[in-house]
Amino acid sequence: MGENMVIMDELCEMDCNVLKRLLKDDSAKCLVLDCRSFLAFSAGHIRSAVNIRCNTIVRRRAKGSVSLDQILSGDEEVKARLKSGLYSAVILYDERTPDVDTVKDNSTITLVVNALYRDTFGTEIYLLKGGYDTFFTEYPEFCLKTKTLSSFSTQSSLDSCSSCGTPQTSHHDQAGPVEILPFLYLGSAFHASKKDMLDGMGISALLNVSSNCPNHFEGIYQYKCIPVEDNHKEDISSWFTEAIEFIDSVKDSNGRVLVHCQAGISRSATICLAYLMKKKRVRLEEAFEFVKQRRSIISPNFSFMGQLLQFESQVLATSCAAEAASPSAASLGPKSSSTPTSPFIFSFPVTVVTHGQPNGLAYLQSPITTSPSS
């Protein structure tokens, strides 16, 4: 506690207008760290900001101390520049903390400040006064907001995909694929059959998560098929690693991949969730809410949700093992046993679509069991 207070006393403050000038004139020499959740960052953030990894799992294991390797996991270039002293300033912000005096000892800001002071040398560290809320209010042009998802189109001119048996103007086909990440899109078989739509979104590859939807444009786009059915007996998790590697290969070639099944509701959504959990180190609940905000009709069948839960525990176990092997692990104090004392428990997000069913347990009834396969 005492060490935290001394460090926080050394933390400087920065007004929003100063950060605006830095972003406009000298952005390469300052590092902006967003200390909010992955969901909040994805909804909107300050331009060029990096989202630190400090979710509940990291915080629980940290016991008051985290390392740069943890909070910047996956951002190797940023981490290397930071440790080499190539940034003249690091600016931290959360949602709306007004000043240094109101930063709590157990806050994410405090954990990050401690890590920065411990693992970097000579870099000035600042707290952005008022956080994202104030900065966005004053300088929205320097922020990136998630595009508002347009309402489903009611146009009747949408053609049906006869080879896939997709009904005309089906609710899961209207509008277009949704952007999950800049290189990752989620949609249906109908979307995968529309070359003009694919070209308009810059799609270069398609991940077909079905056994019966055709690849309409082989020779034009890169394809990969995962031949699974949407039923409770399928082991879709056995394909997670292969799917993630394919998505990464498209990303590394500066391409964009559309992940689709029949309806873009269950199978392809499951693959996108697995990718987010693995690459962004988020829990299933957070990944589910993130994807659902973009494509509200997603609803992996109950078996797939169970497999995603198992995958979550594997991802977390891998993260913990990597953390223990980290050179800075010795400085983080004693670790708790790697064997959890209680199983991971998933509580379904309250926004899960229940399709108007009055039963309070309606989420247990997947719409996939009574609608066309997805």
- Whether 90 and 193 map to the same domain: the answer is no
pLDDT at res. 199: 95
- Whether 109 and 233 map to the same domain: the answer is no
Is 154 inside a domain boundary?
A: no
Range of the domain at 111: 2-145
pLDDT at res. 126: 94
The single residue of 30, 261, 272, 320 carrying the catalytic annotation is: 261
Among the three residues 94, 124, 145, which one is the final residue of a domain in this structure?
A: 145
pLDDT at res. 131: 95
Is 56 inside a domain boundary?
A: yes
% of the chain at pLDDT higher than 90: 47
pLDDT at res. 73: 73
Question: pLDDT band for position 117 (50/70/90)?
Answer: confident
111 pLDDT higher than 60: yes
- Whether 183 and 321 map to the same domain: the answer is yes
pLDDT at res. 253: 96
Question: pLDDT band for position 9 (50/70/90)?
Answer: low
Count of domains observed in the chain: 2
For the ranges 73-77, 147-151, 256-260, 318-322, the one whose mean pLDDT is highest? 256-260
The domain that contains 135 carries what CATH number? 3.40.250.10
% of the chain at pLDDT higher than 70: 71
- Whether 300 and 183 map to the same domain: the answer is yes
Question: pLDDT band for position 58 (50/70/90)?
Answer: low
- Whether 219 and 317 map to the same domain: the answer is yes
Burial class (CB in 10 A: 0-12, 13-18, 19+), 65: middle
83 pLDDT higher than 70: yes
Is 362 inside a domain boundary?
A: no
| Predicted confidence (pLDDT) per residue in 291-335, tens digit | 998 999 999 999 999 999 999 988 877 665 555 555 544 444 443
* Residue 45, strand partner residues: 144
Is 365 inside a domain boundary?
A: no
Closest listed residue to residue 109, CA positions, set 8, 223, 214:
8
Per the annotation, the verdict on 213 as an active-site residue is no
Among the three residues 145, 169, 186, which one is the final residue of a domain in this structure?
A: 145
Q: Which of the pair, 120 or 30, is modelled with greater confidence?
A: 30
Is 371 inside a domain boundary?
A: no
| Predicted confidence (pLDDT) per residue in 195-221, tens digit | 999 999 999 999 999 999 999 999 999
pLDDT at res. 37: 86
367 pLDDT higher than 50: no
- Whether 183 and 139 map to the same domain: the answer is no
- Whether 118 and 240 map to the same domain: the answer is no
- Whether 141 and 187 map to the same domain: the answer is no
- Whether 186 and 321 map to the same domain: the answer is yes
| 3-state SS record for the chain | CHHHHHHHHHCEEECHHHHHHHHHHCHHHEEEEECCCHHHHHHEEECCCEECCCCHHHHHHHCCCCCHHHHCCCCHHHHHHHHCCCCCEEEEECCCCCCHHHCCCCCHHHHHHHHHHHHCCCCEEEEECCHHHHHHHHCHHHEEECCCCCCCCCCCCCCCCCCCCCCCCCCCCCCCCEEEECCEEEECHHHHCCHHHHHHCCCCEEEECCCCCCCCCECCEEEEECCCCCCCCCCHHHHHHHHHHHHHHHHHCCCCEEEECCCCCCHHHHHHHHHHHHHHCCCHHHHHHHHHHHCCCCCCCHHHHHHHHHHHHHHHHHHHHHHHHCHHHHHHCCCCCCCCCCCCCCCCCCCCCCCCCCCCCHHHCCHHHCCCCC
pLDDT at res. 33: 94
pLDDT at res. 358: 37
365 pLDDT higher than 80: no
165 pLDDT higher than 90: no
Is 222 inside a domain boundary?
A: yes
What mean pLDDT value characterizes the chain?
A: 78
| Predicted confidence (pLDDT) per residue in 11-35, tens digit | 899 999 999 999 888 666 889 999 9
Total-model pTM? 0.62
Mean pLDDT in residue range 129-134 = 95
Is 100 inside a domain boundary?
A: yes
Is 307 inside a domain boundary?
A: yes
Question: pLDDT band for position 119 (50/70/90)?
Answer: confident
Asked if 53 and 59 count as a contact pair (C-beta separation under 8 A), the reply is no
In this structure, of 54-68, 112-126, 311-325, the range with the lowest mean pLDDT score is: 54-68
- Whether 68 and 197 map to the same domain: the answer is no
Among the three residues 99, 124, 145, which one is the final residue of a domain in this structure?
A: 145
- Whether 186 and 132 map to the same domain: the answer is no
| Predicted confidence (pLDDT) per residue in 236-270, tens digit | 999 999 999 999 999 999 999 999 999 999 999 99
338 pLDDT higher than 50: no
pLDDT at res. 359: 39
pLDDT at res. 341: 34
- Whether 141 and 16 map to the same domain: the answer is yes
